[in-house]
Amino acid sequence: MKIWKLLIPFCAMIVVGCASQSGTETETDGTGAAGSEGASTSGADSESGGSATALDSDREANLMDATIIYFDFDSSDLDNQSSELAKLHGAYLAENPGVKVRLEGHADERGSREYNLGLGERRAASVRSVLLVQGASASQLSIISFGEERPANTGTGESAWAENRRVEIAYSN
């Protein structure tokens, strides 16, 4: 829950900084990354008065702290908050075509092993589709499902299971 308290002001800053962009939802192969980057940093600079490189590194650090997207029971649909987080990651990937991510799908222990592997894959595919819409390229993304095999919380009960229903966004260069 602590991460969401930090993420909400960050999301607001991104929305304000990117409000004037109209072409951020198109797929590119990196040709528009420099233009997008300039537009978002210039808007953010005018709001805060800080330097573009400081804002970029703050944005990247905050984004790297929020790399887990949670799901409801037996669902691969993103809620509004999770969708916004995925959009931020997609925009970052669009601006940084050399960066790659592995989307790791997970499920709680309920259900068969096979079902949970499929559910983890569907969850990762849902996140992938949002990233692609935001401009990330397919070559930047890979999917793997661990199903119930790598729980974040080994306890039982709804609070433990809720932590295990997730997609982790693992960055690499």
Q: What is the CATH number of the domain that holds 151?
A: 3.30.1330.60
Helix (H) or strand (E) run with residue 69 in it:
strand 68-70
Q: How far apart are CA 49 and CA 115, in angstroms?
A: 51
Taking 50 as the pLDDT cut, the residues of the chain under it are 1-52
Burial grade of 128 (CB within 10 A; 0-12, 13-18, 19 or more): buried
Domain count, the chain: 1
pLDDT in tens, 46-94: 333 344 455 566 666 777 789 999 999 999 999 999 999 999 999 999 9
Angle at 48 between CA 47 and CA 53, to 5 degrees: 110
pTM over cut 0.85: no
What is the domain range of residue 79?
2-18+27-172
The neighbouring-strand residues paired with 151 are none
Q: Which residue bears the tokens 């607001």? A: 12
